[in-house]
Amino acid sequence: MKLTVLGCYGPFPPGGGACSGYLLQESDFNLLIDCGNGVLSRLQEHLDYQKLDAVILSHLHPDHVSDIMIMRYGLVIALKEGLRSKPLQLYAPTEPVSEFDRLPYKDCYEVKALQEGVSLQIGPFSIQNRLGLHAIPSMALRINSREGTLVYSGDTEYNRSLEKLAGDADLFLCEANYQDQDLQKGLPNHLSASQAAKLAAGAGAKRLLLTHHHPEKDQAVSLVEAKKYYPEAELACEGEKYIIQRRNSS
């Protein structure tokens, strides 16, 4: 299972950066997880976007969705010219309804509901979800295959159900939008780097990748805060590839 980080910033990117987007590939199946602004451009540095098999959106905030509104123009042409034979499967939470209703476009997407607690099989991936604590419904995803397990937090405040979902994950890709000082101010909706690290340690995750970096914060500070609780914590890096393989706990 190969994960390519296409964009790892939120709620907006720095110059030259992109918001949330992660390409997950196994056995010639190409799954895109989130599709924020800048992701379609980045994707094409690794894969022809017409070769995507499915997209799954953790939630319907624009920093996770906005390039879906752009990719459709290419897909419509590809379908018309026979470069694609079928619509792109697009899984997303159904709320807010007004945002969900904006997803379909001229039959280029086959939009499917991502329902809380309902497992899915998408290509080689078995996917479970848990609802996070966020301004709108946001799903954490546990993606299993023959090769390993990736858990992705989506956007969320601290919650123990995420720790449970991330149990023994080979790679835990966890948002860390905040730093300790943000929590002291009582900012809602996101995790700090130290909270992400505590969750990873509690879950026994084999590897922790911090993501959803805030573009105006020093990521070195986030990393220091995370390493107090999970010494091997790493920062997700745009363009980097990560091989996910099942590892033994011992």
Q: Does residue 63 touch Zn ion according to CB under 5 A?
A: yes
Integer Rg of the chain from CA? 17
Q: Give the binding range for Zn ion (CB under 5 A) out of 25-33, 83-91, 101-109, 150-158.
A: 150-158
**CA max distance for the chain:** 55
Q: For Zn ion, give the closer residue by CB, 12 or 105.
A: 12
Q: What angle do CA 244, 119, 88 make, to 5 degrees?
A: 75
- Residue from 34, 99, 155, 163 in contact with Zn ion (CB under 5 A): 155
* Residue 122, strand partner residues: 125
From residue 157 to residue 186, what is the string marking binding to Zn ion with x (rule CB under 5 A)? ------------------------------
Closest Cα to residue 7, out of 52, 62, 50, 51?
62
In order, the DSSP letters of 38-100 are: THHHHHTTTS-GGG--EEE-S---HHHHTTHHHHHHHHHHHHHTTS-SSPEEEEE---SHHHH
Residue 152 Cβ vs Zn ion, minimum distance, rounded to whole Å: 12
- Residue from 38, 40, 61, 150 in contact with Zn ion (CB under 5 A): 61
Q: 158 by DSSP, 3-state: which?
A: coil
Q: Does residue 99 touch Zn ion according to CB under 5 A?
A: no
DSSP summary character for residue 155: S
Residue 106 Cβ vs Zn ion, minimum distance, rounded to whole Å: 27
Q: For Zn ion, give the closer residue by CB, 137 or 202.
A: 137
Q: Does residue 225 touch Zn ion according to CB under 5 A?
A: no
Tell me the CA distances in angstroms from 129 to 20, 115, 211, one per residue in order.
18, 8, 19
Q: For Zn ion, give the closer residue by CB, 10 or 13.
A: 10
Q: For Zn ion, give the closer residue by CB, 63 or 163.
A: 63
Residue 10 Cβ vs Zn ion, minimum distance, rounded to whole Å: 4
Q: For Zn ion, give the closer residue by CB, 10 or 148.
A: 10
Q: For Zn ion, give the closer residue by CB, 1 or 176.
A: 176
Residue at token pair 């879906």? 68
Q: Give alpha helix (H) positions in the chain.
A: 39-43, 62-65, 68-80, 97-100, 160-165, 180-184, 193-203, 219-227
Residue 68 Cβ vs Zn ion, minimum distance, rounded to whole Å: 14
Residues binding Zn ion: number (CB under 5 A):
4
Residue 151 Cβ vs Zn ion, minimum distance, rounded to whole Å: 17
Binding residues for Zn ion, rule: CB under 5 A, are: 10, 61, 63, 155
